[in-house]
Amino acid sequence: MVFIRYKKFGQQEYAYEVTAYWNPKTKMPCQKTRYLGVVVDKKNKIFEKKAQKAKPEKLILDFGDAYLFGAFMGKSWLAPMLGSAVGDSAETLMALISYKLCHCSAMRYAEQWFEGSYAKMLYKNANVCSQRISDFLASIGDENVQRRFFSDYIARISGAKKGIVIDATSLPNQIHMPQSAWGLSGEEIDKQIRFLLVVDKDSSMPLFFRSLPGNIVDVSALRATLDELQQFGVKESYAYLDAGFFSENNIKEMYQRKVQFLTRLPAIRQLYKELIGSEVDCLEAVRNVVRYGERVLFVKEKKVDLFGNEAYAYIVLDPERKGREIRKLMSQAIDEKDSNEDLEYEFSKRGVMILVSSSHMSRHDAVPAYYIRQTAEMMFGFSKDDLGILPLRVHKEETLRGLLFLQFVSLIAFIQFRNALGKKRTVEEALLTMRNLKCKVYDNETIVSELTRKQKEISESLNIIVPKSLGV
């Protein structure tokens, strides 16, 4: 049986169609109700049912990458530390760090990325228009801002004091400022800026950075770097140095400061030539065999005098590298050599690396200890390949300092995110996969698309729950 039921709320009357039926399962009479609408003409049974208007869709945004990284940073101690350092500009800084990781490109494209990313919902007070980014970089290039940050950051990172790695790289550019100067970059002379990085050995995290004019050689930068670190409370106990920092003054400085060190002896040094002449002939012997990963090396230890101080030299021969280098040498014209004596010396040093240390260590530990230095080289690789430090497009020194500071804190965030992901995925792979997760933004709600299996695995690996919807 079907009939119409009327209900009145306030001044408005509504009509409902009621269907009565027998439920065989419950063995009882039941009713189904269907809404017909507002009563317009009750006698003629005319009703008006207003159609619900769909909420106007405002935006479709790239969601997954910005949300995942934002949620990760929300759990990290780095975000509040940066907020304390830069104050009201914190959201702009976080937006640009997110841009560096999620879409590595020139800073002038940050605004276009921001408009299509959920980052604009996360960092509503950020100002990343191209006209304002230079002003922002200049503001975080201020020495007071950076000192506030490093005072907190270094105190947190370098608590174990188990050593530091110091290295520098060239940033070639064509900008016009005093810091951009002609200098040697590899085997070429370029207009460049030197980017010096200090890495904490215990945590493998970037600890400190300095920018130097391109014509300042690395050997001149060590003392000032150690002095600055000391101002931030870093009581360095051990330093792993690239060969570029080897000089008589630097070595004496390290002994005077009672800082132990390990570095590579440059081939142009007289001590290197003496050790090649006296030690290489008897180096390839069973008693000198050392395994390093999958490689088999020959390592010999010898006590040496290093500018009036006792030190230890570790002569390392890599037979595979020796074979490659000898083949290359033999492919050159022998008659180009000045004498047979010169040729013999060139043959004898092929495949050989000499390490010098202020303290004694097992010859089995010498090569692994030296390659701790690769953590700095890895950081430079991340900065150039993953975070787009090059090319430099700034024209004021304060803006350059701000850009390098942004690069440094982005590198910290990158390393934290990379460590959390583990070895199964790269940062680039994870964020590109998550970028395909979109969201739709309405007036009062943001609806998130369904996650794929890979997206679920990535978010779960970081212990981050991706919501189905969020407020605006």
Give the model confidence (pLDDT) of 406-423 as tens digits.
999 999 999 999 999 999
| 12 and 107 both lie in a single domain | no
Q: How confident is the model at residue 442 (pLDDT cuts 50, 70, 90)?
A: very high
Question: 310's torsion region: left (phi>0), alpha (psi -120 to 50) or beta?
Answer: beta
pLDDT average, residue stretch 3-19? 83
Enclosing domain of residue 33: 2-48
Give yes or no: residues 357 and 214 share one domain. Answer: yes
Per-residue confidence (pLDDT) for residue 336, from 0 to 100: 63
For residue 299, being part of any structural domain is answered with yes
- 128 in a structural domain: yes
Same domain, 37 and 128: no
Angle of helix 248-256 versus helix 222-231 axis, rounded to 10: 30
For residue 162, pLDDT over 90 is answered with: no
447, 439 Cβ separation under 8 angstroms? yes
Q: What is the pLDDT of residue 51?
A: 64
Token pair recorded at residue 40:
């317009």
Task: Please check whether residue 190 is in contact with residue 214, taking contact to mean a CB–CB distance below 8 angstroms.
Answer: yes
Residue 391 lies in a domain: no
Q: What is the mean pLDDT of residues 209-232?
A: 91
**Whether residue 30 is found in the same domain as residue 132:** no
Q: What is the mean pLDDT of residues 239-261?
A: 94
| Residue 295 clears pLDDT 80, i.e. is over it | yes
Residues 205 and 252 in one domain: yes
φ/ψ bin of 312: left (φ > 0), alpha (ψ from -120 to 50), beta (otherwise): beta
User: Comparing 185-199, 288-302, 371-385, which segment has the lowest mean pLDDT?
Assistant: 185-199
pLDDT in tens, 133-157: 999 999 999 999 999 999 999 999 8
pLDDT confidence bin for 347, thresholds 50/70/90: confident
Q: Looking at the structure, do residues 347 and 226 belong to the same domain, yes or no?
A: yes
Number of structural domains the chain divides into? 3
Does a structural domain hold residue 168?
Answer: yes
> What share of the chain in percent tops pLDDT 90?
64
Over residues 165-185, mean pLDDT? 85
Q: Average pLDDT over the chain, rounded to whole?
A: 90
Asked if 166 and 243 touch (Cβ cutoff 8 Å), the reply is no
Burial of 14 per CB tally in 10 Å (0-12, 13-18, 19+): middle
**What pLDDT band is residue 207 in, cutting at 50, 70 and 90?**
very high
Point out the least confidently predicted range of 112-121, 194-203, 406-415.
194-203
In a domain, 266, yes or no: yes
Same domain for 354 and 308?
Answer: yes
Q: What is the pLDDT of residue 271?
A: 96
pLDDT of 52 above 70? no
Check which CATH number belongs to the domain holding 332 and give it. Answer: 3.90.350.10
- The dihedral through the CA atoms of 141, 147, 150, 152 has a sign that is negative
Residues 228 and 253 in one domain: yes
Q: What is the pLDDT of residue 185?
A: 66
Structure tokens given for 9: 């709320």
217/78 same-domain check: no
Contact 103, 118 (CB under 8 A): no
327 and 282 assigned to the same domain: yes
What pLDDT does 67 receive?
Answer: 97
Within-domain flag for 75: yes
| Cross-strand pairs, 470 | 446
pLDDT at residue 186, rounded to an integer? 64
pLDDT at 18: 86
Q: What is the mean pLDDT of residues 377-398?
A: 87
- CA–CA separation, 410 and 433 (whole Å): 20
My answer on whether 422 and 370 are in the same domain is no
One domain for residues 357 and 295 = yes
Banded pLDDT at 42 (limits 50, 70, 90): confident
pLDDT greater at residue 161 or residue 303: 303
Is residue 53 one of the residues assigned to a domain?
Answer: no
Contact 173, 392 (CB under 8 A): yes
Question: Residue 463 falls within a domain, yes or no?
Answer: yes
Domain final residue, candidates 346, 365, 386? 386
The residue that leads in pLDDT, 341 or 272, is 272
Q: What is the mean pLDDT of residues 364-377?
A: 91
Confidence of residue 430 (pLDDT cuts 50, 70, 90): very high
pLDDT band at residue 54 under the 50/70/90 scheme? low
